[in-house]
Amino acid sequence: MTDRYAVFGNPIGHSRSPRIHTAFAEQTGEAISYSAIEAPVTDFAVAWRAFAEAGGRGANVTVPFKQAAFALAQVLSPRAQLAGAVNTLSLGNDGLLHGDTTDGVGLVRDLQAHAAPLAGARVLLLGAGGASRGVIEPLLEAGIASLTVANRTVSRAEELASRFAARGEVSGCGFEDVAGPFDLVINATSASLVGDLPPLPGEIFAAQGLAYDMMYAAEPTVFLRWAAEQGARSVDGLGMLIEQAAESFWLWRQVRPDTAPLRELLRREL
């Protein structure tokens, strides 16, 4: 019997998740199908229930539905509860809808794959939206020294920082108040989607610093090009996408796929 999974988003036509999970299924011999579903912006819960009633067993959730998925889940993992966002839904054997977030795990595993400086690192996280919420706790658990959240709306950065203040040294500020140097700068804004750049001061990178953009494309994003001009090493978010998908796959199937072959394949396909 083939179990059904999907990714929900709006828009969703660009998603590589069906490609990734189909490859994971082929690699591991798991009998699943995986599709992309564009849900109405105001009716995510209705779209999920229709999918579940048609036999759906779980789903990934992307923009703009991560907080709606958080509200819909009946059982939340500790990391999802702290983040206030869900990107993975699973129908459990208990008949309840479980919500988790795998974004932070995906980010940290990708950073580790690129030999990023995490232990003792000073980290700047750009953006205070859903993309940022799920990655802060895993970064703190990886042993970073401090995390600064910078956002256009200062109050949102400060609110997000206060949410994690008990877990480590976390602060929030506006873009104009960013003061480096930082060993790692992560762009979690959507600016790269429109070819824009967060309004940052120059010289924020420490020597041998790393710039990470959660977005990815065939060519380096505007943010990564700017970072390279500052002398920073740069990595895009393709590996994060694959690693967070692998964590979701494990949550659903209790099988962990090998991500290395897919990293090479998808990079060639960009």
Binding site per annotation, positions for shikimate? 15-17, 62, 87, 103, 216, 244
Q: Where are the alpha helices (DSSP H) in 144-230?
A: 154-163, 222-229
CA dist., res. 81 & res. 103, Å (int): 14
Q: Where are the alpha helices (DSSP H) in 174-221?
A: none
Start-to-end C-alpha separation, the chain: 33
User: Residue 77 corresponds to which tokens in the numbers above?
Assistant: 């993992």
User: Quick check: is 172 catalytic?
Assistant: no
**CA pseudo-torsion sign 253, 255, 258, 261:** negative
Binding-site residue ranges: 15-17, 62, 87, 103, 127-131, 151-156, 214, 216, 237, 244
- The identity of residue 57, as a single letter, is R
Binding-site residue ranges for NADP(+): 127-131, 151-156, 214, 237
Q: Where are the alpha helices (DSSP H) in 181-229?
A: 222-229
CA dist., res. 135 & res. 108, Å (int): 8
Q: Find the catalytic residue in 21, 66, 133, 253.
A: 66
Residue 264 burial (C-beta neighbours within 10 Å; 0-12, 13-18, 19+): exposed
DSSP 237: S
Q: Which residues are catalytic?
A: 66
